[in-house]
Amino acid sequence: MTEEEITAEHVIIEAAKKDARQFSEVYDRYFDGIFEFIFRRTEDEELADDLCSQTFFRALDNLKKYEYRGLPFSAWLYKIATNEVNKHFNKTKRNRVFSLEEQRVRELMEVEEEEFSQEQLDLLKDTLNELPTSTVEILELRFFEGRSFKEIAYILNIGESGAKMRLYRAVEKLRKHFSINWKE
């Protein structure tokens, strides 16, 4: 985000702090991204909808506590969404999932082929599902959400250098399974 976009966003957030009805603009702006983020982690539309609603409820409920820290407001929402998803999986003891979108995978892998074979997609998905949750979170936030290392560090409550190291290690693990150049 540019500095102008962050400033405009800050104005909206401050208005919503004073009048909860103004939060609808925040909701409209970020709903799709948060929903897709949660859906990729659950592969369940109804559950994603519930967790997305819970995310925005928590955001609205805690909006007065929000402080600008040099990051887009969306980083705060992604942090809340990550916590909601993690709470759900801890509570239900269900296995986590990671859903792949073929177009995004092609972009990440810099492959010129029009399509991946189902075998390649299944192998990638299996590999991602075998990785620790913290590793998949880094890959997802960086590559699928396009988040900066500073945002990732904030969302996952780790240092920026830790985020970079985790990403480097995650990409190395994936490279061992695939002989494809990944964007970093």
How high is the pLDDT of residue 4?
82
Q: What is the C-alpha to C-alpha distance for residues 43 and 99, in angstroms, rounded to an integer?
A: 6
Give the pLDDT of residue 143.
Answer: 82
Report pLDDT for 56: 96
102-177 and 3-92 share a CATH fold: no
pLDDT along the chain (184 residues), means of 10: 80 90 91 92 90 96 88 91 90 65 54 60 72 79 87 91 90 69 42
State whether residue 158 is helix, strand or coil.
Answer: coil
* Tokens read off for 171: 């990409």
Task: Give the whole-angstrom CA distance, residue 118 versus residue 2.
Answer: 39
C-alpha distances in angstroms, 1 versus 6, 7, 8, 115, 148? 6, 10, 11, 31, 10
Q: What is the pTM of this model?
A: 0.74
Q: According to the model, what pLDDT value does residue 136 have?
A: 79
Class of 102-177 in CATH = mainly alpha
HSE-CB for 102 with a 13 A CA cutoff: 11
- The structural domains of the chain, with segments of one domain joined by +, span 3-92, 102-177
Question: Shortest CA distance to 152 belongs to which of 72, 98, 97, 86?
Answer: 72
CA separation for the pair 37, 160 (Å, rounded): 21
What is the predicted pLDDT for the residue at 182?
A: 42
- Which CATH architecture is the domain 3-92 placed in? Orthogonal Bundle (1.10)
Please give the pLDDT value at position 181.
40
At 132, is the secondary structure helix, strand, or coil? coil
Give all strands (DSSP E) within 66-121, no chain letters.
none
d(CA 70, CA 6): 9
Question: Which residues have a Cβ under 8 Å from the Cβ of 23 and sit 6 or more positions away?
Answer: 16, 59, 60, 63
